[in-house]
């Protein structure tokens, strides 16, 4: 039985406290789930300089967040990341066999 490696292999300590440092704290979350292009652009811009962007993205990937902007990524971005990660895992397992 093979164990899959996390998308981001390094551990992120104290997963609860990162929310306190997020740039989006106190922001109306509707912009992160809006279909409006300007809202999505504004949400992505807010994420760009966020000090906990990586932690947010990691949680979104682990929780399989299907909707919204998380960690500076769109739904499509995350689907591509997961697809690429799975492909790399298959290749790694095939090389190890």
74: phi then psi, degrees, rounded to nearest 5: -90, 175
CA distances from 68 to 53, 60, 77, 84 (A): 14, 10, 11, 20
Residue 86 has pLDDT above 80, yes or no: yes
Residue with tokens 């106190």: 26
Q: How many CA atoms lie within 13 A of 88 on its CB side?
A: 10
Q: Residues 5-46: pLDDT tens digits?
A: 455 444 444 455 788 999 999 999 999 999 999 999 999 999
Structure tokens belonging to residue 79: 């689907």
Q: Give the model confidence (pLDDT) of 37-80 as tens digits.
A: 999 999 999 999 999 999 999 999 999 999 999 999 999 999 99
Neighbours of 55 (CB within 10 A): 21
């Amino acid at each position: 039985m093979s164990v899959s490696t996390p998308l981001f292999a390094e551990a992120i300590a104290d997963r609860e406290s990162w929310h306190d440092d997020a740039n989006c704290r106190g922001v109306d979350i509707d912009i992160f789930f809006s279909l409006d292009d300007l809202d999505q652009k504004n949400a992505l811009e807010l994420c760009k300089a966020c000090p906990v962007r990586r932690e947010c993205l990691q949680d979104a990937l682990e929780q399989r967040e299907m909707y919204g902007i998380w960690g500076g990524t769109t739904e499509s971005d995350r689907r591509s990341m997961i697809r690429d990660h799975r492909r790399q895992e298959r290749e790694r397992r095939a090389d190890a066999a």
